[in-house]
Amino acid sequence: MEWLDDYELELEPMDQTHHEFVEIFNRLASADAASRLERLDEFIAHTEAHFGQENRWMEAIDFPGCHRAEHDRVLAVLREVRSRLAAGDGFFLGRLIEELPTWFGHHASGMDAALAFTLKSVGFDFETETVAGSKGACAASSGAGACACGPTMSEVQAAEG
């Protein structure tokens, strides 16, 4: 997978994780038969941490849930590919290596870009993983189009109440 300028979201902690994601993916893609299970485990562990980090940030700013669901879907696929590979079937790993770069391009420029934009606009503090003085900053900043998965639960409740 080649790193493209489009992947740069100008949000240091996210960009750093994405650079590592591409690097570890490339190690997996170039692994020989003897080491590919180990490389796949390394890639899955990094992806769990990568998605877990974004999920925590989303939770901290009350960001709508479809991005998290997308992470869960991808991890389910990775675990399925891992169990097939461990059983001696490398076909799905080959498909994964072919298709993941396209998925990542869409995800980085879509969902991750929207999250990065929102984190920047609310002044998210990555040390403490909080927004100073406000919980639910994503709901508070709605209208910017950054929280693109529909209203959050708190917005729905506010509208109903």
Minimum CB separation from Fe ion for residue 33, in Å? 29
Where does residue 65 rank: exposed (0-12), middle (13-18), buried (19+ CB within 10 A)?
middle
7 makes contact with Fe ion (CB under 5 A): no
Site string for Fe ion, 72-111 (x = CB under 5 A): ----------------------------------------
Instruction: Choose one: 35-43, 54-62, 116-124, 146-154; the region binding Fe ion (CB under 5 A).
Output: 54-62
End-to-end CA separation in angstroms for the chain: 49
**Length of the chain as a residue count:** 161
- How far apart, in whole angstroms, are the C-alpha atoms of residue 14 and residue 32? 30
Phi, psi of 115, rounded to the nearest 5 degrees: -65, -45
Burial 105-122 (b: 16+ CB within 10 A, else e): eebbeebbbbbbbbbeeb
Number of residues that bind Fe ion (CB under 5 A): 2
Minimum CB separation from Fe ion for residue 128, in Å? 21
Q: Other CB atoms closer than 10 Å to residue 102's CB: what's the count?
A: 10
Tell which one of 25, 43, 54, 63 touches Fe ion (CB under 5 A).
54
Pick 85 or 119: Cβ nearer Fe ion: 119
Provide the 3-class DSSP secondary structure of residue 130: strand
Instruction: Choose one: 2-10, 22-30, 91-99, 112-120; the region binding Fe ion (CB under 5 A).
Output: 112-120
Provide the 3-class DSSP secondary structure of residue 2: coil
Residue nearest to Fe ion (CB): 112
Pick 62 or 112: Cβ nearer Fe ion: 112
Instruction: Choose one: 26-34, 35-43, 51-59, 129-137; the region binding Fe ion (CB under 5 A).
Output: 51-59
Minimum CB separation from Fe ion for residue 3, in Å? 14
